[in-house]
Amino acid sequence: MRLKALLLSITLACGARETLAQTRPSTVPVPPGSRVRVKTPTLVAPLVANFLEQRGDTLVFIEDGRGRGVWTFGIGQIERLEMTAGESGRNKQPIAKGAAIGAGVGFLAGVLFASVADPSDESKKYSPGLTGVVGALVGAPIGAYFGSRVKSERWVEVPINRGLSFRTTGRSIEFSIPLPNAR
């Protein structure tokens, strides 16, 4: 009985060693050359770069900008990985900012006009407040139009599988152990 248990434990240990030797790192679903944004705890600001390749559990990036440096991060170091989804226009924030700037400029132009201009009828005067409101009502849509012309880059988060995958030789038994994200 002890001999059977010893043989079984040796067989399991050898099989586990063979299985661990076949561990594959998880792959990241980002095609090489894609524009990505990487956030890690070691960087002050997210790195905007082009994805170059994956070497084992390390991702290699070429910086997009003046430095053009090569950056490498382990999958465990990366807090967030995002891939560009192109540019989009008609974003709410630039439209609202343009409308606010247009309304402010229109209001100031209306007040300035009311204080400087003289009507043809000497018995009437322009009301600075009312003229300023009319100027703001005209300036807001003009500013919103220019704000709608501003394009910004959209980013989509790429899921990073932080689990370990195992497979055995022979019958191709595969299983994975999910690990919690580092967020």
Q: Give the largest Cα separation in the chain, rounded.
A: 119
Q: Kindly tell me the sign of the dihedral angle through the C-alpha atoms of 42, 47, 51, 52.
A: negative
Reported as type and span, the H/E element at residue 177 is strand 174-177
H helix count then E strand count, the chain: 3, 8
Q: Kindly tell me the sign of the dihedral angle through the C-alpha atoms of 139, 145, 149, 153.
A: positive
- Exposure on the CB side of residue 165, measured as CA atoms within 13 A: 12
Looking at per-residue pLDDT, the higher value among 92 and 182 belongs to: 92
Tokens 């050359």 label which residue?
Answer: 33
Q: Residue 10 has what pLDDT? A: 67
pLDDT above 60: residue 170: no
Q: Residue 69 has what pLDDT? A: 86
Residue 12: band (very low, low, confident or very high) from pLDDT cuts 50, 70, 90:
low
CA dist 153 and 148 (Å) reads 14
Closest among 167, 11, 166 to 177, alpha carbons compared: 166
Q: Between the CA atoms of 82, 85, 88 and 93, what dihedral angle is there, to the nearest 10 degrees? A: -20
List, for residues 48-95, the tens digit of each pLDDT value. 999 999 888 889 999 877 767 899 999 889 999 999 988 776 678 899
Mean pLDDT estimate for the chain: 80
Q: Residue 139 has what pLDDT? A: 97
Residue 121: band (very low, low, confident or very high) from pLDDT cuts 50, 70, 90:
confident
CB contact set of 115 (below 8 Å; sequence gap of 6+):
126, 128
Tokens 């300036």 label which residue?
Answer: 139
Complete domains list, the chain, with CATH: 20-88+152-177 (2.30.30), 92-148 (no CATH)
Tokens 């201009």 label which residue?
Answer: 117
CA dist 71 and 124 (Å) reads 71
The total of other beta-carbon atoms located within 10 Å of residue 103's CB is: 22
Q: By the 8 A CB rule, do 5 and 134 touch?
A: no
